[in-house]
Chains A and B, each alone.
Chain A
Amino acid sequence: MSLDQEVATLKRIPLFANIDTSRLKLMAFASQRMIFKDGQALCQQGDPGDAAYIVIEGRADVLIDTADGPLKVATLSSNDIVGEIAILIDVPRTATVKAAGEVVTLKITKDLFFRMVSDFPEIAIEVMRVLAHRLEKTNEQLRAARS
């Protein structure tokens, strides 16, 4: 898979949908493509977060440690982004993500992410927009749960 294909993938992710192609190309070029084998962990619950991953191909399970062992709470697939919270605010990983079959990802390090955000304000605005959407959605769910 080449850089251009990766850029096409990034375009499909809401967070990056409105961002200029040349910026995305730079981000893709500066980030590492990382392949995880079946069962390999993208991140481990409790570890400090140093990178976010964008799933390009394959599926990964999101697992949370419980008293009865790991509990699968979600499955990630193409175009999903994982780990962005941990790099935005310094919190440990809130879940373990394990590859289910081979997963191809784009690894965006914390450093790279912050550089992109600070050099290109439009990305920062996009990040705010996406996060605001999520907050709105969470509020909605909260209201629905209360009523």
Chain B
Amino acid sequence: MEPNLFKYIWRHSKRDQAAILLLVLVSLPFYFASLNLPKQIVNVGIQGKGFAGPADTQVMGKLFLPLGDVLFGHPVLLFGGLRFDQVETLLILSFAFLGLVCVNGAFKFVINTAKGRLGERMLRRLRFELSDRLLRFRLGQLRRMKGPEVATMIKDEVEPLGGFIGDAFVTPAFLGGQAITAMVFIMSQSLWLGLIAGGIVLLQALLIPRLRIPILRLGKQRQLTARQLAGRVGEVMDGAVEIHANDGSNWERAELTSRLGQIFHIRFEIYQRKFFVKFLNNFLSQLTPFIFYAGGGLLAIYGQLDIGSLVAVIAAYKDLPGPIRDLINWEQQRQDVQIKYDQVIEQFQPTDILEPAKQDPDAEVRPLDGMLSASSLTLIDDNNQRQVDGVSFELPLDRHIALVGDAISGKDHLAMLLAGLAPPSGGKVRIGEQDLQDLPEAVLGRRIGYVDPAAYLFSTSLRDNLLYGLRHRPLREAEQDGKAIEAWKAALAESLRAGNSPFHLEADWTDYEAAGCTGPDDLLARVLEVLDVVDLGEDVYRFGLNGSIDPAAQPDVAGRLLEARNALTRRLAEQSREDLVVRFDAEQYNANASLAENLLFGTPKRADYEAEALIDNALVGGALQQAGLQELLGEKGLAIARTMVEIFADLPPGHPFFEQFSFIDADDLPEFRQLVTRAEQRGVEQLPAEDRRRIKALPFRYIEARHRLGLVDDVFETRVLEARRLIAEAVRRRDPTAVEFYDAEAYNSAASILDNVLFGRLVYGQAGAEEAVGAAVRETLDELDLKPSVCAIGLDFEVGVGGKRLSATQRQKTALARALLKRPDLLVVNQATAVMDGATRARLVENVLRAREGRGVAWAIERAALAERFEQVLVLRNGRLIDNGAFDDLSGRSEDLKMLLAAD
């Protein structure tokens, strides 16, 4: 990267800088005119200079041909002007002033906007370049860096550059011009005074920046400590488990305190020095007038200098300190951003970085074939340890190879070398005639699959994670309307101006062919096939059942799910198991659903309609009142409270039963005991409002079939149904978007797929109900060919940061599926099944090898016994290849393999 910030800015923005400079120059005459005009308004317009009286008129706007007397020997009058009296003149001048204010404002607006845009554009370019370099770092380099520190550099540390870039050339040119003009004027009035003023300015210009050097050094330290603080905060978050498990929070507090203290001291010293420099600077600026007054005054008294010149010099000097001070400030800012720039780019200049050609998206990609060979392959790590030591072998690429060895055998490093992810310290890995190190990432990343022991998933949908291995560059333009295309074109032009990526994120990047498909339509089937290979199909089906769809976007799926709803009822009836699901019926109280569900008879779409919030919902409260339920609610609530107080009384607080079963928290139980006594004496309705609310809130979660307190009788049911009707009416009228009501004939977009198909509640207390209904749902969906649609919805599952919403096993399976989906010529698996249990791992190895029949696999495997399933086994010890052969052969003669097998 360009080490000099100025050159960097100039190279990428000279045209814009020149344009802004030009704009500034054009704006100056207007500016000076606006300075002069008020004087004219006062003198001519108001005081009537040149007018004999109110009735007198003057000619204004006489226009002569420029250079007329040079060309023709006499002035050439183009326009004779107009006559105005004093009042007219005043108004004309005032409006001219207003006009100039507008023009000046417009200039300022345009110039500032142009400067801002220029700054942001350059900032965007710089950030992109830094990110681009980050993407070209070697993996080893990245491991030594802290994510939050890098993020701070790209985001925060370069930020001040944006503000500076717009002023980088304009300010010195402008201010310098002003200062020089003032100096020249002073010089012309009095050489001596001019020399004195110039001397002091020179002193300022030399001394002040020198004094500011330590401040800049401190600024550098401040930047580093702040960056390290960001790194430490990131570490505290990453290490949260260790901190809590080791009671390390106080140590962390002290550690952060010491860092904050360091930052404080640095900043404080900066302030001290900064304000001292400011003081000195102001002093020097005021020294000049002192000399003018004292020295100039003496000269004038003794008649060496006429008073007029002295006054003119003093007046001219007024214009000098401003620009000088601003210039010095600008210089200070320049040094400051140059340091920031140096500090940032220093981190982005490692000795070894991938050439851009290595990541050329259009590099030629041909399938790899021939022999997979390693010759004297050696890898020496940072600590000078030989992790891989002189490994040589040659095998057909389509072979299934197991790399076995103990934890320090180097099989993991060998796997990374075979995937071309680490440059070997010595020797070569070749496929056919090609050295992996010479191949661009377009070939390595598309023709070789690699699965890490701790595979990373991006915080997006499961689908995007799976297809990540198929998205290398945009292949087909996005299908968009004219407006969107225009917007994209504009965005692209702007990206290119800042040297950013020209690729359209919304375009279709998926390489269907690589996955063995023809287009989006058959991709799903292929994805599901791969998911079955890695044993993830069932999980995705379940994600799908719990997922939801927008029926407006997928009317076909919604329609068929509605069909499935009825088909499920029929199927259960055929099996005489219709009693396992109690369907929602607008005219029936559902004893297997909570009171809240029975009242709302729909899925809440807003927080104030959730079960816990209903008690405080005014609309619901009104309906309950109208249906005569308020008192019953108090009665039922009291019954629940009484039972809870009775049966949980003797349990110690914190007993798991409270959480599992009780309607009342352990902490609140004593209070409720008193509440029950009071309510029994006086009646619930006579209690204070807050107590009444607490009692009445209890029944909302009550499910008759599960809790069996016998609270739901005919009267209650009737009134609940009445309240249900009233609530529905009121919600439709006043809050139509708050609840999506159950409707046997409509798809409920707020509910999950499973709830839509069930359209009811699983009955409590029927043995094997869940399994039977689960099976019936599956059969129904299968019959209607809905399973792929449900799985497709399951693929929308958001995996969370780092895939944390999935289990470690699911994450590894996803990574394997991602690598399988792109059908690489060689699949390198680096202990990717380490987190799985033995049976799962064995099944997975079996499935993957079957799916990869006839195509290469190199698997650094955790258990030596699993190597039996591979065609070729490489036995490693301390980075050296000890044995190489078929499992049956080696298990007889290789001592190392025998030992590994015995240790399994």
Contacts and interface: CB of A to CB of B under 8 A. Distances in A.
B657 A6 contact: no
Interface string B640-678: 000100111111000111001100000000000000000
Contact of A3 (B656, B710, B768): B710
Contact of B651 (A6, A33, A36, A119): A119
B656 A40 contact: no
Nearest to A119: B651
Contact of B764 (A29, A33, A37, A115): A33
Interface string A1-37: 1111010000000000000001101101110111111
B383 interface: no
A37 B661 CA distance: 27
Contacts of B766: 34-35, 37
A97 to B, nearest CB: 11
A34 B647 contact: no
A6 B767 contact: no
A127 to B, nearest CB: 18
Nearest to B576: A37
B765 A35 contact: yes
Q: Which of A35, A115, A120 has the most chain B CB within a 10 Å cutoff?
A: A35
A40 to B, nearest CB: 6
Across the A-B interface, give the 10 residue pairs with the lowest CB-CB distance, nearest first. A2-B710, A26-B647, A33-B765, A3-B708, A36-B767, A25-B647, A34-B767, A30-B661, A22-B646, A34-B765
Contact of B765 (A2, A3, A30, A32): A32
Interface residues of A, number: 23
B767 A35 contact: yes
Contacts of B83: none
A30 B708 contact: no
A30 B707 CA distance: 9
Contacts of B646: 22, 25
B709 interface: yes
A131 B707 CA distance: 31
Contacts of B707: 3, 29
Nearest to B763: A35
Contacts of A30: 657, 660-661
A91 B700 CA distance: 42
A119 B140 CA distance: 57
Contacts of B650: 22-23, 119-120
Given A1-B708, A6-B708, 8 more contacts: A2-B708, A2-B710, A3-B708, A4-B710, A22-B646, A25-B643, A26-B657, A29-B647
Contacts of A29: 643, 647, 661, 707-708
A103 to B, nearest CB: 9
A137 to B, nearest CB: 31
Contact of B709 (A2, A26, A37, A40): A2
Contacts of A115: 656-657
Contact of A119 (B643, B655, B767): B655
A35 B769 CA distance: 10
Contacts of A25: 643, 646-647
Nearest to B661: A30
18 contacts: A2-B709, A3-B707, A6-B708, A22-B647, A22-B649, A25-B643, A26-B647, A26-B657, A28-B708, A29-B643, A30-B661, A33-B764, A37-B766, A40-B768, A42-B767, A115-B657, A119-B651, A120-B650
Contacts of B649: 22
A25 B640 CA distance: 13
Contacts of B708: 1-3, 6, 28-29, 33
A120 B28 CA distance: 94
Q: Which of B657, B707, B767 has the most chain A CB within a 10 Å cutoff?
A: B767
Nearest to A105: B767
Contacts of B767: 34-37, 40, 42
A30 B657 CA distance: 8
Interface residues of B, number: 21
Contacts of B765: 32-35
Interface in B753-803: 764-768
A44 to B, nearest CB: 12
B573 to A, nearest CB: 15
A33 B768 CA distance: 13
A32 B766 CA distance: 10
A22 B647 CA distance: 5
B672 to A, nearest CB: 15
A41 B282 CA distance: 96
Nearest to A32: B765
Interface string A68-108: 00000000000000000000000000000000000000000
B764 A26 contact: no
B648 A26 contact: yes
Contacts of A26: 647-648, 651, 657
Contacts of B651: 26, 119
B396 to A, nearest CB: 49
Interface string A52-69: 000000000000000000
A4 to B, nearest CB: 7
A48 to B, nearest CB: 17
A26 B643 CA distance: 9
B709 to A, nearest CB: 6
Nearest to B765: A33
B44 to A, nearest CB: 99
A131 B874 CA distance: 61
Q: Which of B643, B650, B708, B709 has the most chain A CB within a 10 Å cutoff?
A: B708
Contacts of B655: 119
Nearest to A6: B708
Interface string B694-726: 000000000000011110000000000000000
Contacts of A42: 767
A142 B486 CA distance: 95
Contacts of B660: 30
A11 to B, nearest CB: 15
Contacts of B768: 40
A60 B513 CA distance: 61
Contacts of A22: 646-647, 649-650
A104 B709 CA distance: 17
Contacts of A33: 708, 764-765
B709 A3 contact: yes
B575 to A, nearest CB: 11
Contacts of A40: 767-768
Nearest to B655: A119
A26 B657 CA distance: 9
A23 to B, nearest CB: 8
Contacts of A23: 650
A3 B767 CA distance: 19
Nearest to A1: B708
B717 to A, nearest CB: 15
Contacts of A120: 650
Contacts of B764: 32-33
A57 to B, nearest CB: 12
A22 B708 CA distance: 15
A25 B764 CA distance: 19
A79 to B, nearest CB: 18
A108 B59 CA distance: 111
A33 B708 CA distance: 9
B348 to A, nearest CB: 57
Nearest to A53: B767
Nearest to B651: A119
A29 B651 CA distance: 14
A29 B661 CA distance: 8
A32 B709 CA distance: 13
A111 B708 CA distance: 21
Contacts of B656: 115
A37 B772 CA distance: 13
A119 B707 CA distance: 22
A4 B708 CA distance: 9
B684 to A, nearest CB: 21
Q: Which of A2, A26, A36, A119 has the most chain B CB within a 10 Å cutoff?
A: A26
B642 to A, nearest CB: 11
A14 B433 CA distance: 84
